[in-house]
Structure 1
Amino acid sequence: MHRIFTSWVWLLIQLLLLLLASGILYLSLGAFRDPSQSAHAMLSSVVWATFGPHLVLLSAIGLVLGAVASRKKLTWLSGSLLGVSLGALVSTSYITASIVTAVEQAGGKISILTTLQLQSMQANGPDKWIQLPGEDSETARIAIYRPEHEAMAPVLVYIHGGGFKTGSITETDRDLRWFADRGWLVFSLGYRLWTEQQATWQLAPQDVYCAAVWVQANASRYGGDPSRLAMLGDSAGGNLALNLAYQTAHDDMVSACPGPALQPAAVVVQYPAVDPLAIYQHGYPVAGFEPTTLVAGYLGGDPYQFPERVAAVSSYSYLNFDAPTTLIFAPEKDGLVPSWSVYRFADYARLAGVDVELVRIPFASHIYNQMAANSLGNQARLSITERFLQQQGLAFNQKNDDRR
């Protein structure tokens, strides 16, 4: 009886592993398809930058157990498990290795052991909240993350994403704390999000401008050095960061608030929404987050009926030779902000004389870095950004700061 029970348990384990390996292989095949054209590809693209190493490990376990089962007795089940697990292991290893290689070639660092220890993007929150004058008390706030060493620290100004519809200034809380722990004084800015009653294509840029003016005037009070300031932005926040930084560099910003304009020395953006028409026409319609709805909501209607609004929010409108050095992260399997639209913008920015570094992350999707802390994508974003800011002289330097 015990032998029969053990045999059935062993068969059940093989069957479950076969189903798991088949699912992994299915996802692997989707990684080679266009995420803007296929739900299969869109689903697959979400997985790799967060769970790639875990899927490699699971595939390896399936292969080992398949080999053990085949040696005991070769059956259709053990043979299938062996073959499917082998396919899953080869494909997942290739995808994961491609991401790691691209990150390291871009000057980033990946710890595979750390990728297996995923954490929430929420940490302990900011050190201080600043409430600015404004109609919306939630979005007219600034979250401040202070470094341990508070003498003329380099400054980071972060603008969150969310399709101009959602998101919050602490949605990447753990990342902002990570930068503070490494010597940056971090300010995360809020802005008004669009609703069915109110489009914010004019309001959101004004909000981040006013918050940036406040940072420029007050950073030194919190130990920051405004002359060593960089702007960071993700998705919609990437659009706002680029547009603000490029306008102020060329003195094109119509003043929404009194005070000197922010003058960032560098900009770092991820999957920036630089081209609203590309998103509107080619973004994959994820339920509840359809690109057509996001763009129309932000602009207040069909973009083809409001060409002047499209021009006002398009980052192409603000390209100029005086724009600060820019680092752009472009996940190659972005189905929301089409990857090609980001590549094209980087090309046009270079033609305009902007010093642009484009980092392409293979097999990665939109918000590839925000699913979990410690993931492949999260480590890529943090380590490459740190390398870039160090090269620009915008990172904390203990020796230099001690001399001040």
Structure 2
Amino acid sequence: MTATSAPPGPRHRVGGVLAGVVLLLLGAVAVLLLLVALGALVPGLGSLSGNATAAVQAYGPPLVVIGLVATLVALVVRLRLRRAGTVVVGLGALGTVALGVIVGLVVAAAGAAGGAVDLIRAVDPHGDVSLPDGYPQYGTGPDGAPLRAAIYRPGGAVGPSPILLYVHGGGWAAGSELDNSSDLRWFAERGRLVISVGYTLATAQRPTWDLAAAQVACVLAQLPALAPGLGGDPTRIVLSGDSAGGQLAVSVAYHAASRTQPSACGGRVPVPQGVLVQYPAVDPVGAWRDGHFPGQPDVPGRVLLETYTGGTPTQVPDRYTAIGGIPAITPAAPPTLAIVPADDELVPPAGPDAFVAAARSAGVDATLVTVPFADHAYDVDGIDSLGNQVRRTVSDRWLANRRW
């Protein structure tokens, strides 16, 4: 008689089913990692690219860790299901390596610009809100509503501290002076007096292209008198802003340098010592023509500019010129740092790139830092995320090198 192998028992069959389920889940993880890597590496894939770059900057390091764990578990499961396991291991390894390379290139770009990324901290991005130390009213809007500034006092400072005057983004029609509070507190803890400025938001009935900058300039004009009482040094002011706030920061600082910036509350508008902006909307015509909301290629961002200016570039060309960055350039403009996401869909990087090049040609000390695999607002999805650390540390190094 010839011996025959016994049929698999119930326990063996259950183990095989569990292995198959686990392998199916691991395969889904591997495919997700591959899609994120593909969307980040190949711009222009619509919502895939927009979501992928957001995922890289917010969750790149934890995704790499997940990929490593998933691949190791798949190696174990492969002992039971060899063929399917081999496929999942290969996909997981490929996606993990690709994401690791992408994260490494972002870290390298930050290092080249003077920043640093703590990958351990980046594995656990989290939310945070910090209340300001003061919230005074500095003026009123056209409807009588109070205009306020959020104040974050310097931590551990000895003597008068440099001042970081921040202008929030939001497409000129949203946001507030309380935005990005954790980042502003972070800069204050490094010895700076940080002041975030509120301004009248644009509506379809009231464009504010001729008002918002004057309100920011009003705060700037008051700083020489008010800063000493807050622990600040009015001879070391850096005007900062993101997106629409970046446009306002550039406009106010550069027009102050040419003595053409009015203040909503009167008085002379001093020239800040520096300008620090992220994804600034300094090319309004280009943004109107080419910009769209991240991950939504069918939703153009032009409505924001039309609300702010009251029309299209054809209808109100003088207004687009008035808020543009290049027309405001003067050799007397202060040193400027522009941090620009390489794949910005709302504020196409060609605009800030051209602005920095034109400023350099005019003799301005202008620096451009390009963040790879990053879209608009790449830094806001989680404190200590990859993008958030890039923004903070590159900015901090640039400021510290100039004793600001």
Under a length normalisation based on structure 2, what TM-score does the superposition of the two structures give?
0.92
- Cα deviation, 1:268-327, whole Å, max 9, x if unaligned, reads 100000001111111124569741111111111222110000011111111010000011
Where 2:79 maps in the other structure, the secondary structure is: helix
Go from structure 1 to structure 2 and tell me whether the alpha carbon gap of 1:115 and 1:129 turns closer, same or farther (over 3 Å shift). same
Where 2:207 maps in the other structure, the secondary structure is: coil
* Equivalent in the alignment of 2:27: 18
Q: Is the 8 A contact 1:49 1:376 kept in 2?
A: yes
Q: Is the 8 A contact 1:131 1:140 kept in 2?
A: yes
Distance 1:236 1:246 in 2: 15
* Equivalent in the alignment of 1:79: 86
Go from structure 1 to structure 2 and tell me whether the alpha carbon gap of 1:50 and 1:285 turns closer, same or farther (over 3 Å shift). closer
Q: CA deviation at 1:63?
A: 1.6
Q: CA deviation at 1:11?
A: 1.8
Q: CA deviation at 1:236?
A: 0.4
* Equivalent in the alignment of 1:398: none
Where 1:133 maps in the other structure, the secondary structure is: strand
1:59 matches 2:67: yes
Q: CA deviation at 1:32?
A: 2.3
1:129 matches 2:139: no
Distance 1:33 1:343 in 2: 21
Distance 1:254 1:208 in 2: 10
Match of 1:183 among 169, 184, 191: 191
Q: CA deviation at 1:58?
A: 1.4
Q: Is the 8 A contact 2:243 2:280 kept in 1?
A: yes
Letter aligned with residue 170 of structure 1: L
Distance 2:155 2:302 in 1: 44
Structure 2 gaps of 5+ residues are 1-9
Q: CA deviation at 1:20?
A: 1.8
Distance 1:289 1:157 in 2: 32
Where 1:155 maps in the other structure, the secondary structure is: strand
Go from structure 1 to structure 2 and tell me whether the alpha carbon gap of 1:166 and 1:242 turns closer, same or farther (over 3 Å shift). same
Identity of aligned residues (%): 35
Where 2:135 maps in the other structure, the secondary structure is: strand
Distance 1:17 1:262 in 2: 59
* Equivalent in the alignment of 2:351: 341
Distance 1:89 1:72 in 2: 23
Match of 1:211 among 212, 219, 222: 219
Q: Is the 8 A contact 1:217 1:260 kept in 2?
A: no
Q: Is the 8 A contact 1:139 1:191 kept in 2?
A: no
| Equivalent residue runs for 1:389-400 within 5 Å | 389-394=399-404
Match of 2:174 among 153, 158, 166: 166
1:29 matches 2:38: yes
- Cα deviation, 1:328-350, whole Å, max 9, x if unaligned, reads 10111111111122111111111
Match of 2:379 among 369, 382, 398: 369
Distance 1:317 1:139 in 2: 32
1:292 matches 2:298: no
Where 2:277 maps in the other structure, the secondary structure is: strand
* Equivalent in the alignment of 1:97: 104
Count of aligned residue pairs for this structure pair: 391
Q: Is the 8 A contact 1:138 1:190 kept in 2?
A: no
Q: Is the 8 A contact 1:187 1:215 kept in 2?
A: no
Letter aligned with residue 262 of structure 1: P
Distance 2:21 2:11 in 1: 15
Go from structure 1 to structure 2 and tell me whether the alpha carbon gap of 1:86 and 1:139 turns closer, same or farther (over 3 Å shift). farther
Distance 1:196 1:370 in 2: 27
Distance 1:285 1:272 in 2: 15
Letter aligned with residue 385 of structure 2: S
| Equivalent residue runs for 1:150-161 within 5 Å | 151-161=159-169
Q: Is the 8 A contact 1:45 1:334 kept in 2?
A: no
1:320 matches 2:330: yes
Q: Is the 8 A contact 1:281 1:292 kept in 2?
A: yes
1:229 matches 2:237: yes
* Equivalent in the alignment of 1:266: 274
Q: CA deviation at 1:8?
A: 2.5
* Equivalent in the alignment of 2:95: 88
Whichever of the two has the greater Rg, that structure is: 2
Structure 1 gaps of 5+ residues are 395-404
1:381 matches 2:403: no
Distance 1:138 1:356 in 2: 37
Letter aligned with residue 32 of structure 1: L
Q: Is the 8 A contact 1:216 1:261 kept in 2?
A: no
Distance 1:139 1:355 in 2: 36
Match of 2:56 among 39, 48, 51: 48
* Equivalent in the alignment of 1:220: 228
